Amino acid sequence: MSSYPCAVFPEEIEPFVQSIRAYQVADIGSKSWIEQHEVLQKLCQQAFIEASTKQEEVVKEYLILEDKIPLLIHELYSVLVWRTEVLPRLLALRNPDATFLLYSVLYHEANVCSLLETVLYHRTVCEALGSNALDLIDYCAQAISRLIALLANGYNDREDDPPPEELLNESTSEEIVRLGRGMDFRIGIKSLGILSYLVDGLDLLPLSAATRLVRIHDFPCLLAEILHTKPWLRRNRDGVFEKYRNASWVPAHGDALVKVTETEAQTWICLYRLLFNGELMRDYELNGYRRREISKCVGLMNDQLLDQLPALIPLKQHLCTLQLSHDTGGGSGTSASFLLEELPEVRERLVQAARRTGWDKIVENQRKIFIDLEEHDVVEMAKRIGAAYNTDLLERYTDQEESKRKQEAAEGAAVKVCGNCGAVATKKCSNCLHVYYCSRDCQVKDWSDHKEFCRQLK
């Protein structure tokens, strides 16, 4: 018998997976939708336990066997359409008394995204996507673009960690908007992982997938922008560097600061696979703008990165060549054109169904669910969803890793060593405020190696 706890008993996994069905935008918040929300939350937890403990991944197998992977894409888009078309109309009516139910819908999208990220590690799941891979590529492009926009507006600098006085004074509508931006950040990070698995399994996807990756969405430039914005690194209000690992921000001191996060590594490897895929590049017009944007990444490829990801050394050489080459074009942009080409359909079908029902009618019906609530309704629903969100059974698998991180952080905070000679140091670089030195001489000697890293940290 396995000693691992479970979010779903083994005999429940198959009926849980079989119960998943496609819900329309108008159905969100209904009793049956809430039940499916609970099911998907438990399946996501179970899939995480199975993957992290190297058990047989039963959830993944049943999702493929029952052909439910495409329904997960449908679930992503149903919430995405709801929060872009319905949520603003609901918030315009009046401030909701409780934000818990509205937040549970936002969380549903992130939860399904997390489940997909977990199971897409396996190439068999990529194959099971079928034509819905095109919809998932479009979804990732939108999510990553929103992530770039958040960072451009200073999200990691201030919005992710607002001061207490702002939280006390914000209305419930403002709270939902803030929580929505937080979900956009989480979903954007998860979408980078999903994209890396899709590119890795590109040979199993429809032929049109390659076209959408490079000609429709220009993922090489999108990834180059992500690498420059560094969503996985921030400095908190106390001036301490933090890195985003396993869906949370953890302090990064000493060597931990230069350790590559999983998302950062996936983004670099994904860019490498795109640029070194001959079939893709034949269909990618490498004009002057794209050449400049992509080749700028060479400035980020320092020794610390290449020591941890030596497979990227050919990528650095390739980017250096791009910097030196003239704008002669890397592809005609027409070699992979098709007379007949598959197009994504999920979002369009959802929007058409909602229009037939009528946005005003949907808002009026959902007003009774999310806005005009009796207190006992809120308490009952909070108990149900709160039980599904219970993550106590996951803690034993994350406690050990968390303790290790805290120990590394404590060790880094307790002893400051010279960046040049390794002796105990009390002075730090006035530019990046991170690397310490025991003397001015050591700082001068180390400058040739430190200057690029210093510039990036600042």
Question: Given a cut of 50, is residue 395 above it in pLDDT?
Answer: no
Q: Are residues 384 and 38 in contact, defined by beta-carbon separation less than 8 angstroms?
A: yes
Q: Are residues 132 and 73 in contact, defined by beta-carbon separation less than 8 angstroms?
A: yes
Of 248 and 331, which is predicted with more confidence? 248
* Number of Cβ atoms within 10 Å of the Cβ of 350: 23
For residues 450 and 441, give the distance between their C-alpha atoms in angstroms, rounded to a whole number: 14
Q: Which two tokens stand for residue 252?
A: 């990064």
The closest alpha carbon to 156, from 262, 230, 266, belongs to 230
Residues in the chain: 458
Res 413: pLDDT: 41
The closest alpha carbon to 390, from 3, 7, 113, belongs to 7
The closest alpha carbon to 48, from 422, 415, 398, belongs to 398
Q: SS3 for 167?
A: helix
Partners of 317 in the β-ladder: none
- Strand 233-235 relative to strand 241-245, pairing: antiparallel
Overall average pLDDT of the 383-398 stretch:
53
Of 156 and 160, which is predicted with more confidence? 156
Of 429 and 296, which is predicted with more confidence? 296
Give whole-number Cα distances, 34 to 369, 381, 388, in Å.
Answer: 11, 9, 10
Q: What is the mean pLDDT of the chain?
A: 83
Banded pLDDT at 422 (limits 50, 70, 90): low
User: For residue 346, what is the enclosing H or E element?
Assistant: helix 346-357
Res 435: pLDDT: 73
The closest alpha carbon to 94, from 454, 432, 370, belongs to 370
Q: Which two tokens stand for residue 362?
A: 């949907």
pTM, 2 dp: 0.81
Res 396: pLDDT: 44
Overall average pLDDT of the 41-46 stretch:
92
Q: What percent of the chain has pLDDT over 70?
A: 78
The closest alpha carbon to 206, from 105, 341, 299, 311, belongs to 341
Compute the C-alpha angle 248/254/260, nearest 5°: 55
Question: Given a cut of 70, is residue 454 above it in pLDDT?
Answer: no
